[in-house]
Structure 1
Amino acid sequence: MTESPTPVVSLRFAPELWLFLRSRDRHESVRAAQDGTASLGHLVESLGVPLTEVGPLETAGRRVQPAYRPSGGEVVRVAAVGRPQQVPGGPAAGFLLDVHLGALARRLRLLGVDTAYRNDLDDDELVRRANAERRILLTQDRGLLRRRALWLGGYVRGSAPDAQLADVLDRFVPPAAPWSRCTACNGVLAQVAKAEVEALLRPGTRRTYDSFARCRDCGHVYWHGAHHRRLESIVAAALGGSGRSGGD
């Protein structure tokens, strides 16, 4: 007596999702074994694609949810998440970045984007804090994005901080307000009179500069120093030189 062959489902991933697949699976259609109980979401993630990166799922011309259980022989189209992505809380939703994205965190704060970051949080704490504060968890850890407890996350594409910043801005389109947040702690900056911070300044800074801002949380003092031109170029490149701000 011969055994019946294991039913399979054909998954057709959008090209934008191929980076998550094994090299041997990066082609038009990927076959996944279906034991009769696995959900579509489980099949997708078993191939390495986090559901946070997945958009509409479609089979036989109709939309289905990740909980749907496909039958053997079905063909499912798996789209990438739409851009800009609509998220609960709207464009103003804050971010939480994992330990490896410190340079990206500083750039987002430079643009005035609400960005939480610490370099001592483990995965469990990252998920707990993202959920508690309703922040979007940004990471390049695919396993972290596949945690069922995580309310919302996003994979950051790119290896260089500027490329990562461009990816986050393109996907989530957060409102920008450059020079309004502390790059060290994410606190809000407030303009202060020179007399209020003069005692904290080095002699050369006191002689050369007259306009200052101070973080309301950590007290860090900012001014347009010698490095400001480089920071301005980062802001201009990130915003396309259009002067976009305040969510425009």
Structure 2
Amino acid sequence: MKYSGSYIFRGALLGATQFWRVSRVFSMNDLREVTFRFYGDLKRFLPQGKRTGAFTYAVKGSPAVKDTIEALGVPHGEVDGLVINGRSVGFYEPVKGNDTIAVYPDSSKIRLRKIKRLKPKLPANPKFILDVHLGKLTRHLRLLGFDCLYQRSYKDQDIVETTLSQRRIVLTRDVGLLKNKLIKFGYFIRHTEPDKQIREVITKFSLSFKTKPFHRCLECNGLIRRISFLRVINHLPPKVSKYYKEFVTCRICGRVYWKGSHYKQLLKVVKRISV
């Protein structure tokens, strides 16, 4: 039996078209609609059209609710409470069709008897690690005495590994970094101006009564200690050794500080940024 080339081509094309239609129908049937409502400051992470009230969202299969809220733009580290169909749940609860899901930044706002608080309890004396976009905020935090790690060469993986090993809170302007499932302590810095950023962090983590200005090195984060004039005299500019007799030095990098004009400027900064 003989077939023309054009006939075979039309038959193959028809078969491919039918297969595509079947696959497409299966894919559309596999999508399920759920209803979301985000509360408080979490709305800032959502697409513009989804920031007011409840909205429907199509999911494929039964993904974990963590993956679904992060697909919408909200990092899990900013979420403290999840309620699905009136029940408080964890991040890995599967999402099913027709679910109604409420997402809270603060679980204390949830009116249920049993609540799963999703944010871990913060350390009594919080330590921070900051991403490459927050150099000025790092200096301000160190100026107030807070333990902050920062390097311009940090990659995301460096930050993740450090926060795991040292229980540091990640401060970042990178939403994608906070979506890493290994990060337990993380916060997205809302403001872009350094003075507003430091006030934001102090307020967020209740640091007002924990400040210790001039206790850390602004360059390397090391603790500052007093050092005698005789031990540093050979390392000082002539005018400094003539007019100043009190000095402190960093325990790690050895940088020497004294109360010159720069100190007075830093005092003004401390007064300006303190909440």
Tell me the SS of whatever aligns to 2:80.
strand
Cα shift readout 1:199-229 (whole Å, capped 9, x = no counterpart): 2211222222222110011000112221223
Once residues 72 and 190 of structure 1 are traced to their aligned partners in structure 2, the CA distance between those partners, rounded to angstroms, is 61
Higher RCO (Cα < 8 Å, 6 or more apart): 1
Once residues 228 and 107 of structure 2 are traced to their aligned partners in structure 1, the CA distance between those partners, rounded to angstroms, is 45
2:53 is aligned to 28
Rg larger for: 2
Identity %: 33
Which of 219, 244, 253 lines up with 1:209 in the alignment? 244
Alpha carbons 1:11, 1:75 under 8 Å: kept: yes
Q: How many pairs were matched up?
A: 239
Identify the structure with the greater helix proportion. Answer: 2
Q: How do residues 1-248 of structure 1 correspond to structure 2 at under 5 angstroms?
A: 6-81=31-106, 87-88=120-121, 90-174=123-207, 175-240=210-275
Once residues 229 and 27 of structure 1 are traced to their aligned partners in structure 2, the CA distance between those partners, rounded to angstroms, is 47
More divergent stretch after superposition (192-201 vs 115-124): 192-201
1:243 is aligned to none
| Change in 2 beyond 3 A, CA 1:106/1:51 | same
- Which ranges in structure 1 are unaligned for 5 or more consecutive residues? 241-248
Supply the AA of the counterpart residue of 2:89.
V
Question: Once the 2 structures are TM-superposed, how far is the Cα of residue 149 of structure 1 from its aligned partner?
Answer: 2.6
Scaled by the length of structure 2, the TM-score of the pair is 0.79
Alpha carbons 2:82, 2:89 under 8 Å: kept: yes
Cα shift readout 1:86-119 (whole Å, capped 9, x = no counterpart): 7556231311111111111111111110111111
Question: Once the 2 structures are TM-superposed, how far is the Cα of residue 4 of structure 1 from its aligned partner?
Answer: 5.3
Tell me the SS of whatever aligns to 1:70.
coil
Tell me the SS of whatever aligns to 2:261.
coil
Scaled by the length of structure 1, the TM-score of the pair is 0.87
Once residues 63 and 132 of structure 2 are traced to their aligned partners in structure 1, the CA distance between those partners, rounded to angstroms, is 33
Supply the AA of the counterpart residue of 2:269.
I
- Which ranges in structure 2 are unaligned for 5 or more consecutive residues? 1-24, 109-117
Once residues 211 and 130 of structure 2 are traced to their aligned partners in structure 1, the CA distance between those partners, rounded to angstroms, is 18
